Amino acid sequence: MSFIHLRTASAYSLKYGTTQPRDLVARASELEMPALALTDRDGLAGAIRFTKACVSHGVAPIIGINLPIHLGDTSGVLPRITILAHSDGGWCSLVRLMTGLHMNIDTRKPVLTLELLEKFSSHTSHLHLLHGPESPVSQALAAHRFDAALDIFNQTRDLFADHAIECVSHLVAGNGPRSTVHAARSLIFARDNDVDAVITNAVRMRDRADGPVADVLDCARQLVPLHPRNVERRNAEAYLKSTDEMVLLAAEIARAAGERTPRALLKTTRQWAERAVLSPQ
């Protein structure tokens, strides 16, 4: 069974994604993937071009967005969550949510708050939420604050149609976000609290070779010199991996979490993808 990537940033994630939507879709087609998600940062500008490319290549589109969220006690860089449109009316709900956010903020980029999520709950109730490595839940897990992670999760539990904990390993050393240890910890948290867990690769590149481009974008985004201390990536793993590569990665995460096989993790990921496929017609 082919893997479906649920989280992919294109060049429309300004100063973050390295690749045009059409090139990501072309690569997914080469890898014989039946569907692909586009979850750009802060906007939906690439969604139409992405969908047209999907139609051309026979790849089913999944569309979402990655947004910062402010829960009232954050300093520095805001955490982020990823929202996916559901197959049944999710695209309209996502567009209405983004329209509402832009009409209710004073900044150029939309920032979610609990107040805004509650205000637009009629839209978010048709959307799915991924708690990934940049999310408030993940930050609490990285600090071994499991009770706090659950409290944070519960703040948005009733505001979306469904939730999943996103397990991401870029094979980074240590136990922080994007390490296998942290991905396994996220999987354990999901299992302990009866929450779905999915695996993604938090894609921002088409190929490994795009790593230096990502470095330039990171520094341009922060308005800082090009230097290793100013770049986000620690390796070149955030690319559109093949099914075989993602199965191996899922197996590593599952083993680290004490599970014998990655079957459940991969099955849930596939189910989430199938529920989020949109019809361009």
pLDDT, residue 259, reads 98
Tens digit of each residue's pLDDT (9 = 90 or more) over 61-97:
999 999 999 987 666 789 999 999 999 889 999 999 9
Length of the chain: 281
If one counts every other C-beta atom within 10 angstroms of the C-beta of residue 96, the result is 15
pLDDT of the residue at 74: 61
Would residue 8 count as lying in a domain?
no
Q: Residue 77: its pLDDT value, please?
A: 86
User: Which residues have C-beta within 8 Å of that of residue 17, sequence separation ≥ 6?
Assistant: 9, 10, 11, 40, 41, 204, 205, 217
Residue 25: per-residue pLDDT: 99
Instruction: Note whether residue 209 is domain-resident.
Output: yes
Domain-located, residue 14:
no
d(CA 254, CA 201): 15
> Is 33:268 a contact under the CB 8 Å cutoff?
no
Q: What is the pLDDT of residue 72?
A: 77
**pLDDT tens, 16-53?**
999 999 999 999 999 999 999 999 999 999 999 999 99
Asked if residue 4 belongs to a domain, the reply is no
Classify residue 7: in a domain, yes or no: no
In a domain, 86, yes or no: yes
Asked if residue 34 is part of any domain, the answer here is: yes
Q: What is the CATH number of the domain that holds 177?
A: 3.20.20.140
pLDDT of residue 8: 99
Give residue 75's pLDDT: 65
Of the candidates 203, 208, 165, the one whose C-alpha atom is nearest the C-alpha of residue 187 is: 165
Residues 6+ apart with CB under 8 A from 48: none
Q: What is the pLDDT of residue 221?
A: 92
Cα 164–Cα 170–Cα 176 angle in degrees, nearest 5: 75
Which structural domain range is residue 220 located in? Answer: 21-276
Residue 115 lies in a domain: yes
Q: Which residue numbers in the chain have pLDDT < 70?
A: 73-75, 107, 281
Q: What is the pLDDT of residue 32?
A: 98
Domains in the chain, number: 1
